Amino acid sequence: MGICDNNDRFGRREAIKRIGSFVAGAAAAPMLSRMPWANADPPGGKPNVIVMVADDLGYGDVGCFGSPDISTPNLDAMAAQGVRFAQSYVAVSVCSPARASILTGKYPRRTSMPDLAVSNDPESGLSPSDVTLAEVLKKEGYATGAFGKWHLGYAPKFRPRKQGFDEFYGYLSGWADYETHSYSGSQGSNEKWMFKNDVQFDEPGYMTDLLAREARSFIDRHQSHPFFLYLPWNAPHGPHVAPDGTRAETRAVYQAIMSNFDYNIGQVLQKLTDYSIANNTFVIFISDNGADGVGSNYPLTGTKRTVYEGGVRTPFIAKWPAQITAGRVSQEPIISMDIFNTVAKACGAKIPAGAGVDGKDILNVMKGTASSPHEYLFFNFGNKYAVRRGKWKLIENTGLYDLDANPYETIDLRSSQPTINQELQYKLTQFKEDYGRRGGYSVDAG
């Protein structure tokens, strides 16, 4: 899919409406809040936490973010019960480093995971010295479980149970076939990296359904005790296979995957209502990067593996009825590292020295009582860099853009705004020097 994809479906006038607050989503809040799982319960004690990470989900592929051809009633209802961020970012527009930023609260270049984890490198992975959110919450007595795509290292020392998770069910690789669970990586075309805890295994089933089953089981077993459920979904990453077995890189198959995905999100959230713990469960949903292929980032420019908005701006929804007013849409810029700090502080956890140094606590931003705490946001993919301050975004050696007036990043203002261009270029140079890490990317899929 090319830059500023799907222009045949919409005009620019419609696009500028969609990229803003998308007020229809907020207007639908009363109706959507009546989804079965949306029932509230009395608050109390430490919150449970669920962090869901979609895989390659585009900005234009969620109903409440303006998708015209994909229905996501459960995600839409979640947004109606909480807050949707129209300008949420990931630090790097590819799988492993984006996930590292979520779990550590650091720019990936600060961690041991600045690029993709590869299966043929025993030293490729998120170092045990990089403190994860699971480790922080586990010290506070939380039960911790990860179910889905790990992709933060293949060697035993990098696996989830070495990173603070009590339980793991899923796969270590960059993706797994929806039906066969195999992976084409650096070691061959039929690798299998499915694990249950520390044991390699496999079982039949559609991957998204299996992950939802395990997540529901985790809630069943820990509903009476504070828990942290990390749910890095497989969907809608390719190769694309519909629940009925149809294999094709088409929009129709992608739509079927998304329908199943949204259904399974609803099934997990329903468990919170079943146990009357929805009111005091903090649920966050984000994608690890923008879409490519048959996915859509419309109306944004660019795709996964770019630093254009379509690569780094992703859907973000947060729901915590005890704390967050329902039906809010925020235009404040936030970034993936903020999840670490926000969740840790919401749970009363102490953040160790040196951990979470780039993330910010954005709970008050979610509530609408504070502005974004970030003056600058930095993005990269490989050796391509970008920085944002306020409405201004500079893509190095490419262009300076006013995102308020031109969110499509089509009008380069470097010549007309030399002072801003110079300031942002200086900040990018500082970022590269202060966060210096290797910048090359592997050939493994992510």
Per-residue pLDDT of the chain (446 residues; tens, 9 = 90+): 333 334 344 444 445 445 554 444 444 444 454 565 554 444 468 999 999 999 999 999 999 999 999 999 999 999 999 999 999 999 999 999 999 999 999 999 999 999 999 998 999 999 999 999 999 999 999 999 999 999 999 999 999 999 999 999 999 999 999 999 999 865 656 889 999 999 999 999 999 999 999 999 999 999 999 999 999 999 999 999 999 999 999 999 999 999 999 999 999 999 999 999 999 999 999 999 999 999 999 999 999 999 999 999 999 999 999 999 999 999 999 999 999 999 999 999 999 999 999 999 999 999 999 999 999 999 999 999 999 999 999 999 999 999 999 999 999 999 999 999 999 999 999 999 987 553 333 334 56
Question: In the structure, how many helices (H) and strands (E) does the chain have?
Answer: 12, 18
Identify the active-site residue in 4, 151, 181, 237.
151
176, 179, 343 from 359: Cα distances, Å: 30, 37, 11
Of the candidates 299, 368, 315, which has an alpha carbon nearest to the alpha carbon of residue 85? 315
Tens digits of residue pLDDT in 48-99: 999 999 999 999 999 999 999 999 999 999 999 999 999 999 999 999 999 9
Cβ(262)–Cβ(73) below 8 Å: yes
CATH class given for the domain over 379-434: alpha beta
Looking only at the bridges linking them, the beta strands covering 384-389 and 377-381 are antiparallel
Residues 218, 239, 318: CA angle, nearest 5 degrees: 45
Q: Is 387 helix (H, G, I), strand (E, B) or coil?
A: strand
CA dist 260 and 191 (Å) reads 25
Instruction: Spell out the long-range contacts of 243-250 with Cβ–Cβ below 8 A and sequence spacing 24 or more.
Output: 243/206, 243/208, 243/209, 245/179, 249/293, 249/294, 250/294
- Token look-up 């590869």 returns 118
Q: Which CATH number fits domain 12-376: 3.40.50.1100, 3.40.720.10, 3.40.50.720, 1.10.1760.20?
A: 3.40.720.10
Residue-wise pLDDT tens digits, 304-359: 999 999 999 999 999 999 999 999 999 999 999 999 999 999 999 999 999 999 99
71 exposure class (CB count in 10 Å sphere: 0-12, 13-18, 19+):
middle
Catalytic, 64? Answer: no
Active site residue 95: yes
The tokens of 168 are what?
A: 């793991």
Domain coordinates in residue numbering, the chain: 12-376, 379-434
Query: Looking at 4, 64, 95, 347, which residue is catalytic?
Result: 95
Under DSSP, the state recorded for 162 is G
- The whole-model pTM stands at 0.91
